[in-house]
Chains A and B, each alone.
Chain A
Amino acid sequence: METTVVIPSNLSAAHEAEKALLDAVAQCRYSEAATFAIKLAVEEGMNNAIKHGNRFDAAKKVTLTYKVGQDRTVITIADEGPGFHPSALPDPTADENLEKPTGRGVMLMNAYMDEVAYNDKGNQVRMVKNNT
């Protein structure tokens, strides 16, 4: 069953939505590694939507859609911002970027999820994690 939650652009609301998703993951008894990955990636995705997509604009919403199955979880996060080009992001693991305090969220999502894809505009991301 697919669940959709629409939240305002604040981190407390995001936290509540993430918790509901993680409760569903726990009910399906995902591995610790998969659970850790989903928690990390969904938090990064939601934070990016709020901070960078919607720029904390209270009038803009974030839509979290998820389907948690026994074998895999599919998550979509959409914001109402102008979008961006993920390929244009600097590599946070490059020597010159290592000590920058920001810029690691997308990289972590890519590292921990099995599939990550953005829409053309760049204001919606779809992520998949297999329960392995």
Chain B
Amino acid sequence: MDQEHPRLSVTQQGDVTVVKLADRKILDEASIAQIGDRLQGLVDKQPDPRMVLDFSDVGHMSSSALGMLIRLNKRVREKKGRLRLCGIQKPIYEVFVITRLNEIFDITETPDEAVRSLS
């Protein structure tokens, strides 16, 4: 578990930072700002950030969480980095489709595919 945020699991696979969101309800309103800050911090540490966000255990989504992801994506792009989302369950993926955010984010099915695409 990530020491700074116990419900995130952060690992390195080569140059790729893989963050697993480790709680079904992790993206409730109270957590979102904290998680956003933590992820921005991880991005800011790297000159050329390559990050995978693993949603395999996430069962809920809100517009605030989407906003956090959009801000994160912008920061990654500002630093000429790359971000992949993966493991998004079908109901959550539908939220991305309804909001057209599936067109903004690079989404893969599995973490392995996401990491390979960034390596």
**From residue B28, how far is it (CB to closest CB) to chain A in Å?**
6
Q: List B contacts of A32 (CB < 8 A).
A: 91
Instruction: Assess whether B38 is interfacial by the CB under 8 Å rule.
Output: no
Instruction: Kindly specify which of B11-19, B40-48, B59-67, B109-117 makes contact with the partner chain.
Output: B59-67
Contact partners of B67 in chain A: CB under 8 A: 101-102, 104
Whether A104 and B29, one on each chain, are in contact in the complex, defined by CB atoms closer than 8 angstroms, is no
B30–A36 CB distance below 8 A: no
- Of B2-10, B50-58, B96-104, the one contacting chain A is B96-104
A43 touches B29 (CB 8 A): yes
Q: How large is the interface on A (under 10, 10 to 19, 20 to 34, 35 or more residues)?
A: 20 to 34
Q: Report which of A11, A43, A99 forms a contact with B74, defined as CB distance below 8 A.
A: A99
A93 cross-chain contacts in B, Cβ below 8 A: 99-100
With A14-B29, A101-B70 as given contacts, are A40 and B61 in contact (CB-CB < 8 Å)? yes
Cα distance, A28 to B40, chains bound together (Å): 41
Assembled-state Cα–Cα distance A98/B73 (Å): 12
Report the 10 A-B pairs with minimum CB-CB distance, sorted nearest first: A101-B67, A104-B63, A105-B63, A101-B70, A11-B29, A93-B100, A36-B91, A111-B98, A101-B71, A43-B62
A interface residues, Cβ below 8 angstroms from B:
11-12, 14-15, 32-33, 36, 39-40, 43-44, 47, 92-93, 98-105, 107-108, 111
Interface residues of B (CB under 8 A from A): 28-30, 60-64, 66-68, 70-71, 73-74, 91, 95, 98-101, 103-104
